[in-house]
Amino acid sequence: MTHQSESGLPIEPVYGPEALTGWDPAVQLGEPGQYPFTRGVYPTMYTGRPWTMRQYAGFGTAVESNARYQQLIANGTMGLSVAFDLPTQMGHDSDAPLAHGEVGKVGVAIDSIEDMRVLFHGIPLDQVSTSMTINAPAALLLLLYQLVAEEQGIPAGRLTGTIQNDVLKEYIARGTYIFPPKPSLRLIADIFQYCRAEVPKWNTISISGYHMAEAGASPAQEIAFTLANGIEYVRTALAAGMDVDDFAPRLSFFFVSRTTILEEVAKFRAARRIWARVMREEFGARNPKSQMLRFHTQTAGVALTAQQPEVNLVRVAVQGLAAVLGGTQSLHTNSFDEAIALPTDKAARLALRTQQVLAYETDVTATVDPFAGSYVMERMTDEVEAAAVELMATVEELGGAVNAIERGYQKNEIERNAYRIAQEQDSGERVVVGVNRFTLDEEEPYEPLRVDPAIERQQADRLAKLRADRDNAAVTGALDALRAAARSTDNVLPPMKRALAARATVGEVCNALREVWGTYVPSEGV
């Protein structure tokens, strides 16, 4: 019996040498750390040191989130990953009418430099790597981080981390956009140029397939649409006058890891190979670091179930293993209780311990690319690559990622696949343990962590005090300078930094840019 993969590709019961007929290991495999990087971006991968263990965290106020970060660091986390609440992600202050009911709910509320100071209080920013999941206002949060580091006496050149800064996938799958595509891409190019000069070790973008996968994209769709977005960002930077080898080494990616281990490993290997080829052959990148697809992975939040939540511990362990076998550079493992509410301290610690078991108790870190040469793995890698390349070709035929987004192509394809998955789950063809098979008559009680609704009032009070205490004339002048830069071709980050240093709020800075650039209104597609 032939099974189907998540991408709808056949999985045969048995594979033999015939599966690799015409397959050339020198061309398709290569050596670890060498083009086309199928086997990993570094020669030694985890044999020298494990991946960076990140835990995505942030909720309520900066005080509460800082306490969680301190606990994670004490438990052995190697890198922080900041979750922001929806108002911050959308560029609204906590006291804005549109923020009502959402302050601190899905991440930490950051309204100004004062909140950022509290968020990283007692954390030496030259000793941790920080990833910030923020897109449309990514420039603001990076600059606030830089300002706090400078207050600690740490020069920007020593800061390491990542801003997601991938607004194109917001138009496709997630929705936390602010500005239309053209000024959004201009802002991203400004970030590339600014960081090359000011924050050279910072990863300026994390081109994300994760959220498309969570919306229902198959593995082939996930890497195809992610890499197509990456191509659009490269073209934007080149059009702004940058040389490909000046910015491409700081590009990074972000993918999901599902429970389907074999296809996930194949997906990661195929993605590296496609990107290396595109960067070398299409864009003429000469620096090997420009050809490397370095990526962060998060286990699949959409796969977590509120029913029998402890089963999620098993899912997360399997998904984490797939990411490691696929060669990820950093990993976040979800907490088992996230389908119910914010993770408790114990659940977050167990999620981290899952990574530590993989790194220190298994032997998967003893050798590079353990599946290399496997009949099934190399065949699946080739098939996922071919399916992704075909989808990328369609995006190109539509005029590139932005034109395809405006026509609704990626969104429609993802929704079609999501519908297929939902039908398979409803029919029982796709088994979800504890949901459509192996269920319980009565679930055990579980006490989740809740966000105090009083946080919204507390943040509003902090904002009122901030606006009363600051030099408002200086803020007005700085915001006027930002508007002028936005109307011209000047880089907007230097005046944006001055405004934030003067204690302008996130909402005020974003509103200044809204006045010049407008806001994005999605079309219905085709």
pLDDT at 26 over 90: no
pLDDT at 394 over 90: yes
End-to-end CA distance of the chain: 37
Strand pairing class (10-11; 52-57): unpaired
| pLDDT bucket at 344, cuts 50 / 70 / 90 | confident
Please report, for residues 143, 297, 346, the alpha-carbon distance to residue 172 in angstroms, rounded to integers and kept in the order given: 26, 20, 35
pLDDT tens digits, one per residue of 485-518: 999 999 999 999 999 999 999 999 999 999 999 9
Architecture of the domain defined by 31-427: Alpha-Beta Barrel (3.20)
pLDDT at 525 over 50: no
Q: If we measure between CA atoms, which residue out of 211, 208, 309, 222 comes closest to residue 260?
A: 222
Instruction: Report, as an integer, the average pLDDT of 243-265.
Output: 97
| pLDDT bucket at 1, cuts 50 / 70 / 90 | low
Q: Cα torsion for 121, 123, 128, 133, to the nearest 10°?
A: -20
DSSP 7: T
Q: What are phi and psi of 203, to 5 degrees?
A: -80, 115
Q: Where are the alpha helices (DSSP H) in 90-137?
A: 113-119
Instruction: Report, as an integer, the average pLDDT of 91-101.
Output: 97
Can you say how many angstroms the Cα of residue 475 is from the centroid of all Cα atoms in its chain? 32
pLDDT tens digits, one per residue of 443-465: 878 777 777 889 999 999 999 99
pLDDT tens digits, one per residue of 149-198: 999 999 999 999 999 999 999 999 989 999 999 999 999 999 999 999 99
Q: Is 298 exposed, middle or buried (0-12, 13-18, 19+ CB in 10 A)?
A: buried
pLDDT tens digits, one per residue of 396-440: 999 999 999 999 999 999 999 999 999 999 999 999 999 999 999
Q: If we measure between CA atoms, which residue out of 368, 412, 389, 370 comes closest to residue 522?
A: 412
pLDDT at 9 over 80: yes
| pLDDT bucket at 526, cuts 50 / 70 / 90 | very low
- What is residue 522's predicted lDDT score, i.e. its pLDDT? 83
Structure tokens that stand for 229 in this block:
């977005």
Q: Is 281 exposed, middle or buried (0-12, 13-18, 19+ CB in 10 A)?
A: exposed
Q: How many CA atoms lie within 13 A of 389 on its CB side?
A: 13
Q: Cα torsion for 235, 240, 246, 251, to the nearest 10°?
A: -50
Domain ranges of the chain: 31-427
pLDDT tens digits, one per residue of 280-323: 999 999 999 999 999 999 999 999 999 999 999 999 999 999 99
Q: Which residues of 241-256 are buried (b: 16+ CB within 10 A; e: fewer)?
A: ebebbebbbbbbbbbb
- What is residue 256's predicted lDDT score, i.e. its pLDDT? 98
- What is residue 168's predicted lDDT score, i.e. its pLDDT? 97
- How many residues are present in the chain? 526
pLDDT at 41 over 90: yes
pTM of the model: 0.94
Q: Where are the alpha helices (DSSP H) in 112-179?
A: 113-119, 138-151, 168-169
